Structures are given as C-alpha cells and as structure tokens.
Amino acid sequence: MDERDKLRKFRELDDAFAQALRQLEDPGKAMEIPTGPPVRSLEALEEEDAEKQAQLREEAFKQQFEALLTEYHIASHELRELIETLLASGRWTEEQAPA
C-alpha cells in the first residue's frame, strides 16, 4: 500500500470519526449506523499488502528463472544435478546463497 492509499484510508477514518462525534453532540438526531463492511486495522491491511507483494516477487522470480533456463537450454533436472554435485563436492553449502 503506497502513501496515497494510506492517506486516503486515514482521511476516510477521520471523516467517519468526525461524523460520529457530531452525532454524539446532537442527541436529538437519530444515530446513523453504518452498514458497510467492518473496518480493518492498518496493520492488517499492511500485512495483506506485504503478502501480496511477496507473492508477486515470487511469481516474478519463477518467471525469470524459467526464462533463463529456456534461454540457456538447461532442463530443471540438469540444474538439480549440478546443484547436487556442487553440494557433494563441498564447493557450495546449503547455507550459501548464490550471488
């Protein structure tokens, strides 16, 4: 969620809060009860956005990875064999991330 979306959500909440205060100050007026969906916390919205971003990054990585395998004519099983060979020879450990 970018800053504009956060600001828009804040303004919506601020407007709703101000309206509720005005209704409390005028006891003669009937209360308007909102019937819309429940408001989710900013933390929940940010968490959902982070999950979406992680999914998008993972999908982009998979697409780029598949494109590289295709470009260099490497089958996924051949790549697996190469990784297993590097691990077995000690040239690469599972804790290392490729650069």
CB 59 within 8 A of CB 53: no
CB atoms within 10 A of CB 91: 9
The DSSP code for 64 is H
Q: How many domains does the chain have?
A: 2
Contacts for 34 with CB less than 8 Å, ≥ 6 apart: 16
Q: pTM of this prediction?
A: 0.47
- What is the rounded distance in angstroms from the CA atom of residue 39 to the CA atom of residue 51? 19
- Both 46 and 92 in a single domain? yes
Q: Which amino acid is at 11?
A: R
- Both 32 and 62 in a single domain? no
Parent domain of 12: 1-39
- Both 50 and 24 in a single domain? no
pLDDT digits (tens, 9 = 90+) for 5-29: 888 898 998 998 888 888 777 766 6
CB 86 within 8 A of CB 92: yes
pLDDT digits (tens, 9 = 90+) for 53-88: 999 999 999 999 899 899 989 998 998 898 888 888
- Both 48 and 33 in a single domain? no
- Both 62 and 78 in a single domain? yes
- Both 54 and 96 in a single domain? yes
- Both 67 and 93 in a single domain? yes
